Amino acid sequence: MASVAADYLPILLFLAVALGLSMAFVVLPMLVSRLTGSNKPYPDKLTEYECGFPAFEDSRAQFDVRFYLVAILFIVFDLEAAFLFPWAVTVFGLGWTAWIAMMIFLVELALGLVYAWKKGALEWE
């Protein structure tokens, strides 16, 4: 029975530390907020900050297409980074085929960036 408890001790310690840290990251900021008075709302604190303008219409109103375009471009280039890092770690073990495939991928992404740049997708009015 003692060996079973000894086998589970590291797991229980890990859980105790994880619960302690998570509680500290949740409860401590709330306590500091209460003590410093930063939790008391006032009109300026309750204004919109996500989109930069107050919500004046229905929540189902259409947004400008530039918001979606910027989001799509971010996703495309974020995926490029997600594919590039694992490839860079293993490129020497994969050989020339992997290197050529990644160069083709990077050229395609560069052409997409140039196309978006020329079309004015990166310009903000």
Q: What is the structure's pLDDT at 83?
A: 80
Q: What is the structure's pLDDT at 70?
A: 79
Report whether 70 contacts 38 (CB < 8 A). no
Q: What is the structure's pLDDT at 52?
A: 62
> Of 90, 87, 92, which is closest to residue 102 (Cα–Cα)?
87
Q: What is the structure's pLDDT at 13?
A: 93
Q: What is the structure's pLDDT at 1?
A: 63
Q: What is the pTM of this model?
A: 0.44
Report whether 54 contacts 61 (CB < 8 A). no
- Give one DSSP letter per residue of 24-54, joined into a string: HHHHHHHHHHHHHTTT---TTTTS--SSSS-
Q: What is the structure's pLDDT at 74?
A: 84
> Which parts of the chain have pLDDT scores under 50?
none
Q: What is the structure's pLDDT at 58?
A: 65
